[in-house]
Amino acid sequence: MDINLNKIGKRYRFEWIFKNLTYHFQQHQQYAILGANGSGKSTLLKILSGHLTPSKGKIEFNHNGLVDIDVLYKQVSYAAPYMDLIEELTLSELLTFHQKFKPFLQSFTPQDVLEITGMGHSKNKPLSFFSSGMKQRVKLALTICSESALILLDEPTTNLDKQGVAWYRKLIQDFAEGRTLIIASNIEQDYDFCRHQLNIMEYKPVRKEGRWKKKE
């Protein structure tokens, strides 16, 4: 999926989170969005996913033709620490439920994805009993193993131990190829394989002479 941002900005009340952001995300490429904590990385991901609209500027999605924002969700997979799972379901039930509204890659079955998580021993356990690291594995597997043109990851190694980080990187290597991947993080192990980087701090407005201006 290609994404064109044309001078977009996002404002909450009177504060601009970022402004005048022009950028082109190309299909089949991998990108890292960098910036200090609270700088707007997650806000930008929410705009790219269609969960938020920019306060100004224009954004276009192209996947074999322009994609309307109302049906963008069909082409997007998104994982973030602040997203919740349905904890009343077991892992097996969640995988089966997920496939009903977003198919898995390459005709994967829920059993295939279960094996990829490496948590087959917990397949009949409700997610409410999972550790934070186990839940993060589930989120990443659901996101990366789904059939989608755009993958959005916000701080993907949150709550993962050393083994979990290695598992995440192999998941990217095996299944993210050929799609547009955008990762928001300040942790190098999350994104050091990305060829392209966008620093959100370059689009933070600074207050000068009573007005907000784009940071030079």
- pLDDT reported for residue 209: 47
213: pLDDT confidence band, cut at 50, 70 and 90?
A: low
Query: Could you read off the pLDDT of 48-84 as tens digits, one per residue?
Result: 999 999 999 999 999 988 888 888 888 999 999 999 9
Query: Could you read off the pLDDT of 179-193 as tens digits, one per residue?
Result: 999 999 999 999 999
Whether residue 91 is predicted with pLDDT greater than 90 in this model: the reply is yes
Query: In terms of pTM, does the model score above 0.85?
Result: yes
Residues 6+ apart with CB under 8 A from 35: 41, 186, 199, 200, 201
Query: Could you read off the pLDDT of 132-190 as tens digits, one per residue?
Result: 999 999 999 999 999 999 999 999 999 999 999 999 999 999 999 999 999 999 999 99
Query: How far lies 154's CA from each of 19, 92, 96, in Å?
Result: 21, 25, 24
d(CA 157, CA 137): 9
* Contact predicate 145/105, CB 8 Å: yes
- pLDDT reported for residue 13: 87
Q: What residue has token string 């959100």?
A: 200
For residues 82-107, average pLDDT: 94
Burial of 199 per CB tally in 10 Å (0-12, 13-18, 19+): middle
Residue 84: both structure tokens together: 């919740």
Go through the domains of the chain in sequence order and give each one's CATH number. Answer: 2-214 (3.40.50.300)
User: In percent, how much of the chain has pLDDT > 70?
Assistant: 95
Task: Report the range of poorest mean pLDDT among 23-37, 131-145, 194-208.
Answer: 194-208
The residue among 96 and 71 whose pLDDT is bigger is 96
- pLDDT reported for residue 216: 47
- pLDDT reported for residue 207: 59
What residue type is assigned to position 132 of the chain?
A: S
Whether residue 212 is predicted with pLDDT greater than 70 in this model: the reply is no
* Contact predicate 163/90, CB 8 Å: no
